[in-house]
Amino acid sequence: MMDTKEVLEIALHSLQRIEHSLKEIEANSKQTDSDVWHTKRADNQKVTVLIRCNIISVGDIDTVKQEFTTEIWLSAIWKEPTLIGKNREEVIWEEQWHPRLVFTNAISVDKMETKHHLYEDKDSDDGIPYAAMNFRLKATFKEPMELYDFPFDCQDLTIRIMSDWPDTDVQFKKNMSIKDSIRIDTFTGAQEWDLHKHVISQAVDEDRELTGSHRKYPMYHITAHVQRRIGFYLWNVALIMFLIMCMTFASFSVDPFEPADRLSVTLTLLLTSVAFKFVVSQSLPTISYLTILYKASQKEMKAANQKYQELCQQINKTWTENMAKRQQRDEEKTVKYEINYVENDHHEIKRKKAKRSRVRPNESKDGKGLGRLKDPDRRRHDGDHSESTERQSKSQSAEYNIPI
């Protein structure tokens, strides 16, 4: 037989085991910190959420990454029947219904503060108070930029808000009691952009074709506008490209008979334009269309290429004309030399004939009764030489059509 002490020890040990098992069951069934449970409204009514915002500051605007940084204050209020007759301190806000706002285009959130308030509706007699959820948010947002008119572009900086409740449960509207605002004095990108003083806030319809969702969710956009300052790009890009294009005309100052020098000037300027275009492309994201600056660069490169082609054509034309003129001059010099040579030869022949026809001492003055030469062989030799010279002169005159 066991005594009472042993029975109590066995019972205590069993109770400890049961307690340990219950703790394990509780730990396994307990929700983790990441689990969030959202309960629908008991009345199943569609809630209208009024949105009001104040853009406190707009920070860096990155054109290449297509991002911008901003700090905003956002208020979302709605009527809450379950809070009738309660004070703010009496409400457990973690257990209350809220619109589940999500900033869809936020890349990173640096700071976010959330506060809840309770307001009385003075314009209504139903006594239902307004529950307010206020956000103080500093984050970086993604914004696709339209750069067709770069650097004369105007960009929309949009903060996109969505509710995780479908549009059958929640709808967004702008709070018309107080206007939305934006602070200009805190804008840090004033050296590159002009920030406009207005804010456009509106509820938008979600496009199912773009989202691919089987349900529609309410969307709300808050948009600020900035205008790019063109001074930097005008003086550092456009002016330099214009000067490079104007320098293409310097190739016409080089002697046309030195085509290598002329082509080297044009090709150097063309390569300079291409290199400068790559430098400018570092200020823009990778886009599939041409901006105004790119179009201007393309036109300048096209003009330089056209000047290069015109220069080549002019060099070829000048070279051909000069070669034709040189050949014509050479032909004229050859003909003139041959004519002078024939004329000189003709004069020489005439001079020799005149010399031979002179009256010799043993001949009469009238040419009658000419005595015989002392050397008959010499006379025959002179006659043969005169006949051969005359035949040669006639053949040369017939060749060049020169009358003798």
Reported as a single tens digit per residue, the pLDDT across 205-250 is 877 666 667 788 999 999 999 999 988 888 888 888 888 878 877 8
pLDDT confidence of 308, banded at 50, 70, 90?
A: low
Q: Which CATH class is domain 47-229?
A: mainly beta
pLDDT greater than 80 at residue 142: yes
pTM for the model: 0.63
Chain region(s) in the chain for CATH 2.70.170.10: 47-229
> Residue 400 — pLDDT band, cuts 50, 70, 90?
very low
20-36: per-residue pLDDT in tens? 777 766 665 555 455 55
Give percent of the chain with pLDDT exceeding 90: 27
Range with the largest mean pLDDT of 42-46, 58-62, 265-269, 289-293: 58-62
Tens of pLDDT along 339-380? Answer: 665 666 666 666 666 666 654 555 444 444 444 444 445 444
Q: What is the pLDDT of residue 139?
A: 95
Q: What is the mean pLDDT of residues 269-277?
A: 80
Tell me the pLDDT of the chain averaged across its residues: 78
In angstroms, rounded to a whole number, what is the distance separating the alpha carbons of residues 99 and 77?
A: 9
Q: What is the reported pLDDT for 350?
A: 66
CATH of 233-324, one of 3.40.50.1000, 1.20.58.390, 1.10.760.10, 3.50.50.60: 1.20.58.390
